Chains A and B, each alone.
Chain A
Amino acid sequence: MTSLWPRIEPLLAHVTKPARYIGGELGACEPDHGPGRVAWLLLYPDTYEIGLPNQGLQILYEILNERPDAVAERAYAPWTDMEAAMRAAEVPLFSVETSRPAADFDILAFNLSAELTYTNVLNLVDLAGVPVRAADRAAGHPLVIAGGHCAFNPEPMADFVDAFALGDGEEVVGEITDVVRRWQERRSTDGTSSREELLVALAGVTGVYVPSCYEPTYEAGRLTGVAPRARAVPEKVEKRTISDLGAWPYPKQQLVPLVEVVHDRLNVEVFRGCTRGCRFCQAGMITRPVRERPAAQVDRMVRSGLDRTGYDEVTLTSLSSADFSGIEKTVTSIINDPECSGQVSVSLPSLRVDAFTVGLAAEIQKVRRTGLTFAPEGGTWRMRQVINKLIREEDLYAAVDSAFSQGWQRVKLYFLIGLPTETDDDVLGIAALARACVEIGRRYHRNVTVTASVGGFVPKAHTPFQWFGQNTMEELRRKVVLLKDAVRGVRGLSLRWHDPEATTVEGLVSRGDRRMGAVIEDVWRAGGTFQEWSEHFDLGLWTGALERAGLTLEDAVYRHRPEDEILPWDHVSAGLHRDFLWQDWQEALAEHGLEDCRWTPCYDCGACTGLGVEHVVASSVAPAGGSQGTGQDLEAGGTVPVRFLATSTHAPAAPVLAGAAAVEAGG
């Protein structure tokens, strides 16, 4: 037995939240690492509380542990105090289940969900005692692989990761296991099989990108291509897509941790993919097409999950759960189940903005009613047409009116600033919308709170906005100040914003090419871990590293890309045609919205046709209540219906409501 526990336990008395390091979750496996079994260590490069609930990781954990030829354990990033204690005591990174050293595993598999966690990946590989650069690893070292949404621009991490898995992981983890097991068998018989042979074999698996098999070329400081080094590897790596979510009812044994974590409740994925077509949304673009889980299976997973875990809250997860066919029936059957005795609440992330959705929320949040959150994203109808989030003023005000009239007193609104073509009027439109919502709330309650939460937009790979030059840090700061001034003194309205510095660094890493690896390594070597935590984020580390690498924010982040520029991720595919994305980018600039293709004719984005899969949607019509580009009169998008005007029936809404708010604040 190779457990490090006797050396770990003495460290625990001196660190914060020691239970992060003890495992013991309901549903955890303590697998038997027999010979002939490929050992996976699944890692989330952030703290235990953030990483444990990750559904992707839990799904793969179960699928691997069900295989006779694989075992899987988990590890998370130790907090800085634990890391210091481990380094001082020379305790390497270990698994939470059996406290086994990370370097004893065959595969270290990382979930990449956020660019600012990349330095943590390097730190974890280093804590494992494995060379951080892929080129420095020998045959005896574990294979370092990575998947998750950020893998769709693999280049910034190409120097550190041996192989990326693109798209859905359910099937490909088995194929990777097969390749590794066969290579190990050959190696134990002939003793010569090299790491290169393994990497080339992996590059032959559909959906697997092995950076060392590809060579980037540059000219005058600009990327000119990333081409295969050998004929055996594909020129373009396609993502993996499971065609039937119903065939994968995972997790079956969702982990229930001993300590409090984020999203600490039962999660049941109701569909994967989204075709709302919001142009800023990478998740919606790279996970197409829509694949719904059969409603009966959702019911079974909810019921057995609640029974097993003892949770009193379930989230039906997806990118827009109110779009699930028959959502009303599904949620009412959960809350009316006598077994749940009225104590189970259901939550739907990413509520669609319309009154129907609020009605649904009112029904399902009978217990523990929290605030409601809507994401109009843009402050004006023009802006929302550009980003293809087709929420009319009427839809938002009806949703908010419905929420306040049904007893909610807190509403949160999510917006983006720094969007393509954005003017100051669009930015100020955010303040106007939020104030109007406060006004509507006051008709029902003395004290209402409307929180406008504002994030800086970061263009992402494989979206129509991938060519857009991100707003500068200074411009984002200026827009935040504009908004702060516009909401100052408005009672009941609070403004929150994301740090423009962190937004800039996220933009730097998300669209970087392979040269960004040197920057990431430099920041890590200077101690820059946990960069997504505001108390640890350090802009100076990044700008210094950028300068040493001979790169600039102007070129890497702020510059608009022309149509013919080779993008660092052009050799990996999320199934979307580049032509479709460019066309959609032009539509955006022309302020044209597109309806959801689930219920309208195909735009030929490439996802269904190229992957040979189809939408799996139980309902042939758009959900009741419509909105966001289904069943609405979009001509009237920017007009505010008379019933939502506070004091005047003809003047445009925003100024009137703004005036009213100012008077009240002054008095």
Chain B
Amino acid sequence: MKLRIRFAKIGRVRWTSHRDVARMWERALRRARVPIAYTEGFSPRPKLSFGLALPTGCESNAEYLDVALREPLAPEEVTANFSCLLPDGVDVVAAQVLPEGAGSLQEEVTSCRWEIDVPQSDPDALSEIIARVLGAEVLSVTRERKGRPVTDDLRPSVLALSSTGSCGTGAVLVAELGTRPRGVRPAELAQVMGIDLGLARRTNQWIERDGSRWEPLATPAADAAVWERAS
């Protein structure tokens, strides 16, 4: 049996890496004596799978984790008891039993929605940049891979951009970024847009198929509660 858990990562803990979060979960599941399934062999590891890595420094209220279990466990146990076993800022939002044969997070998720603070910028100026970027045919970024420069076009993955209101001395950019042909990180988007990157929050991960879309684990109520606490 598999459980899918949705959790948030907010505050100081955002400076930990994706790998660090995986280790926090392993320890929390052991502390709670959850009957996790382990891989076989000389070096058994708990069977956990996380979705798209959240870049270090970003916040999120839409992180997911699938846990394989040896014995059944009620999802309510996870939602009720787990946040206190995890570090401050990592909070369980929802949990559900995953239907047999459900695809993995890596395979299923097609896009993510982000809210990105853009310091020292006003909404009008940001809107102009957005118009320019959306009008571009190609958005290239060059990065180093195995010691050689590799250039990618991000344009196919930039699905939607908009500017919503202001935050402190800056504006807020809302971006929907696809995961294929490859995922785009907020820092890369900021680079091609030529803007400063403030705090970036992943608000949703979406699965889109056959003209409709849904979240791996939808939680409108919990969603609001987490953001209220964070702000």
| Interface residue? B1 (CB, 8 A) | no
CB distance from B89 to the nearest CB of A (A): 8
Given known pairs A310-B30, A368-B44, the reply for A18 and B15 (CB within 8 Å) is yes
| B182 interfacial by beta-carbon distance below 8 Å | no
1/0 per residue, CB under 8 A from B, across A611-646: the answer is 000000000000000000000000000000000000
Given A343-B44, A369-B42, the answer on whether A22 and B15 have CB atoms closer than 8 Å is: yes
B203 interfacial contact with A, CB 8 Å: no
Q: Does B180 make an interface contact (CB < 8 A)?
A: no
Q: Which residues of B contact A19 (CB under 8 A)?
A: 15-17, 20, 56
Q: Are the CB atoms of A24 and B44 closer together than 8 Å?
A: no
A21 to B16, CA, bound (A): 10
A259 touches B31 (CB 8 A): no
Q: How far is the CB of A5 from chain B (nearest CB, A)?
A: 8
Interface residue tally for chain A (C-beta within 8 Å): 25
A296 interface hit (Cβ, 8 Å) = no
Does A589 touch B at the CB level, under 8 Å?
A: no
Least Cβ–Cβ distance between A16 and chain B, in angstroms: 10
Task: Tell me, rounded to whole Å, the shortest Cβ–Cβ distance linking B207 to chain A.
Answer: 30
Closest CB-CB distance, B34 to chain A, in whole Å? 10
Closest CB-CB distance, A335 to chain B, in whole Å? 14
Q: CB-CB contacts of B1-35 with A at 8 A, as 1s and 0s?
A: 00000000000110111011001101111110100
CB contact under 8 A between A308 and B31, given known A24-B87, A343-B44, A369-B42: yes
Interface flags, B82-99, vs A, CB<8A=1, else 0: 000101110000000000
**Chain A, residue nearest B198 (CB):** A13
Contact in complex: B27, A260 (CB < 8 Å):
no
A259 near B20 (CB under 8 angstroms)? yes
- From B19, B27, B38, B56, contact of A310 by CB (8 A): B27
User: Count of A-B contacts with CB under 8 A?
Assistant: 63
On whether the beta carbons of A256 and B27 are closer than 8 Å, the reply is: yes
| Residues of the A chain whose Cβ atoms lie less than 8 Å from the Cβ of B30 | 310-312, 343
1/0 contact string of B37-54 vs chain A (CB within 8 Å): 010001110000000000
Q: Are B19 and A260 in contact (CB under 8 A)?
A: yes
Closest Cβ–Cβ distance, residue A113 to chain B (whole Å): 25
The residue among B12, B23, B28, B56 with the most chain A CB atoms within 10 A of its own CB is B12
| Minimum Cβ distance to chain A for residue B108 (Å) | 29
**Is A367 interfacial (CB 8 A cutoff)?**
yes
B31–A310 touching, CB < 8 Å: yes
**Bound Cα distance from A17 to B19, whole angstroms:** 12
Residues of B within 8 A of A526 (CB): none
- Count residues of B near A (Cβ-Cβ below 8 Å): 27
Q: With A19-B20, A311-B27 given, is the CB distance from A12 to B15 under 8 Å? A: yes
Residue of A nearest to B42 (CB): A369
**Contact of B16 with A259 in the complex, beta carbons under 8 Å:** yes
Residue A139 lies at the interface, judged by CB distance under 8 Å to chain B = no
Query: Are the C-beta atoms of A309 and B20 separated by less than 8 Å?
Result: no
Q: Which residue in A21, A259, A307, A310 is a CB contact (below 8 Å) of B26?
A: A310
Nearest-CB residue, chain B, relative to A307: B31
* Most chain A C-beta atoms within 10 Å of own C-beta, residue among B16, B38, B85, B197: B16
Pairwise interchain contact B16-A258, C-beta atoms closer than 8 A: yes
B170 in the interface, Cβ–Cβ < 8 Å? Answer: no
User: Residue A262 at the B interface, CB < 8 A?
Assistant: no
Q: Which of A14-31 contact B (CB under 8 A)?
A: 17-19, 21-24, 26
Question: Which residues of chain B are near A312, meaning CB under 8 Å?
Answer: 26, 30
Query: In whole angstroms, what is the CA distance A493 to B89 when docked?
Result: 48
* Residue of chain A at shortest CB distance from B44: A367
B183 contacts chain A at the CB level, 8 A cutoff:
no
Q: Which residues of A contact B13 (CB under 8 A)?
A: 22, 24, 258
Residues of A contacting B33 in the complex (Cβ-Cβ under 8 angstroms)? 339
Shortest distance in angstroms between A243's beta carbon and chain B's nearest beta carbon? 35
Q: How far is the CA of A22 from the CA of B43 in the complex (A)?
A: 31
CB contacts (< 8 Å) of B85 on chain A: these are 310
B26-A368 in contact (CB<8A): no
Q: Return chain B residues, CB-CB under 8 Å to A21.
A: 15
Contact residues, B177-205 vs A (CB, 8 A): 197
Task: Find A24's partner among B28, B56, B88 (CB 8 Å cutoff).
Answer: B88
Contact between chains at B24 and A258 (CB < 8 Å): yes
| A368-B17 in contact given A18-B57, A309-B27 (Cβ < 8 Å) | no
Closest to B85 in A: A310
**Taking CB as reference atom, which chain B residue is nearest A14?**
B57
Q: Is the CB of B20 within 8 A of A258?
A: yes
Q: Cα distance A51–B23 when bound, in Å? A: 19
What is the chain A residue whose CB lies nearest that of B70? A341
For the complex formed, measure the closest distance between the CB of A14 and the CB atoms of chain B, giving whole angstroms: 10
CA gap between A21 and B85 in the complex, in Å: 22
- Is the pair B23, A260 in contact by a Cβ cutoff of 8 Å? yes
Question: Residue on A with the closest CB to B86?
Answer: A26
A26 neighbours in B (Cβ, 8 Å): 87
Q: Decide if A309 touches B57 in the complex (CB within 8 Å).
A: no
Complex interface residues of chain B between 54 and 89 (CB less than 8 A to chain A): 56-57, 85, 87-89
Q: A304-323 vs B: 1/0 string, CB under 8 Å?
A: 00011111100000000000
A496 to chain B, nearest CB (A): 23
- Chain A's nearest CB lies how many Å from the CB of B76? 21
Residues of A within 8 A of B19 (CB): 260
Pairwise interchain contact B20-A260, C-beta atoms closer than 8 A: yes
CB-CB under 8 A from B31, the residues of chain A are 307-310
- In the bound complex, what is the Cα–Cα distance between A289 and B219 (angstroms)? 61
How far, in Å, is A355 (CB) from chain B's closest CB? 22
Q: When the two chains form the complex, which single residue of B20, B24, B43 contacts A368, counting CB atoms closer than 8 Å?
A: B43
- CA of A22 to CA of B30, assembled, Å: 24
Cα A137 to Cα B114 with chains together (Å): 51
State the Cβ distance, B40 to closest chain A Cβ, in Å: 11
Residues in A with CB closer than 8 Å to B42 are: 368-369
Which residues on B are within 8 Å of A, measured CB to CB? 12-13, 15-17, 19-20, 23-24, 26-31, 33, 38, 42-44, 56-57, 85, 87-89, 197
Identify 13 residue pairs between A and B in the complex whose beta-carbon atoms are under 8 Å apart, listed by A's number.
A13-B57, A19-B16, A22-B15, A23-B12, A258-B24, A259-B16, A307-B31, A308-B31, A310-B26, A312-B30, A339-B33, A367-B44, A369-B43
What 10 new A-B contacts, CB under 8 Å, besides A21-B15, A24-B13, A258-B24? Answer: A12-B15, A19-B17, A19-B20, A23-B12, A259-B16, A260-B19, A309-B31, A310-B27, A310-B30, A369-B43
* Closest A-B pairs by Cβ, 9 of them: A310-B27, A310-B31, A18-B15, A310-B30, A19-B16, A19-B15, A22-B12, A258-B16, A368-B43
